[in-house]
Chain A
Amino acid sequence: KQEVTQIPAALSVPEGENLVLNCSFTDSAIYNLQWFRQDPGKGLTSLLLIQSSQREQTSGRLNASLDKSSGRSTLYIAASQPGDSATYLCAVSNFGNEKLTFGTGTRLTIIP
């Protein structure tokens, strides 16, 4: 059974710094990996989707990487802003079972 872990559970960073969020998964036979953000009391918003054949995806200040062999993905946020404060979740789908398995998220706070 696929298990997805995100450590740390919470992170505080001064505004302007670059930061990395981590996601690890136990079964490397993934179909794709998705990163979401969730603002308090809101639904999830998709940020990036990386297919299993890809190494990374970029959108603006966000860059997500994927290393299937080590079971890891990172989300890099450049030049952090207070508006980046949210909970970030990663989720993976596996071949033959394309439903998403979610991590419990990292709550990010950007300090002005």
Chain B
Amino acid sequence: NAGVTQTPKFQVLKTGQSMTLQCAQDMNHNSMYWYRQDPGMGLRLIYYSASEGTTDKGEVPNGYNVSRLNKREFSLRLESAAPSQTSVYFCASSEASADTQYFGPGTRLTVL
């Protein structure tokens, strides 16, 4: 039982490049989330998916897109990376909205 897994663990991009962050959970959870964590800012919600087939914007969605591929997988895409997107990205899941959230280990992204 791996919980929530994220790939890659580290990534360096140049401004304008694109990439997709992958997240998968094996707990049969309905809800999944993408956060970014920046020093002094705490965790901020980028997008979330309350259930398979639905996605909604969080607090800071600009510059990102998401896909809820199936119940297990929720990906985050940066179409044209900017230095302001340098951050640590966390994926999380919960059985339902507002339930206990389980977090992945994070992806540390640097945009040069």
| Interface mask (A81-112 → B, CB under 8 Å = 1, otherwise 0) | 00000000101010000111011110000000
| Chain A residues, CB < 8 A from B101 | 34, 44, 46, 100
- Main secondary structure, interface of A, reads strand
| CB-based contact A31/B98 at 8 Å | yes
Given the interface pairs A34-B101, A43-B104, A43-B105, the reply to whether A100 lies near B45 with Cβ below 8 Å is yes
Contact of B100 among A43, A46, A104, A105 (CB under 8 A): A46
Docked Cα-Cα span, A17 to B106, in Å, equals: 32
Interface size of A by Cβ–Cβ distance < 8 Å? 22
Q: Which of A43, A100, A102 has its CB near the most chain B CB atoms (within 10 A)?
A: A43
Smallest beta-carbon distance B85→chain A, Å = 19
Count of A-B residue pairs with CB < 8 Å:
50
Contact of A104 among B41, B97, B106 (CB under 8 A): B41
Docked Cα-Cα span, A45 to B103, in Å, equals: 7
User: Which residues of A are in contact with B by a Cβ distance under 8 Å?
Assistant: 4, 31-32, 34, 36, 41-46, 49, 89, 91, 93, 98-100, 102-105
User: Which residues of B are in contact with A by a Cβ distance under 8 Å?
Assistant: 4, 33, 40-45, 48, 58, 90, 92, 97-106
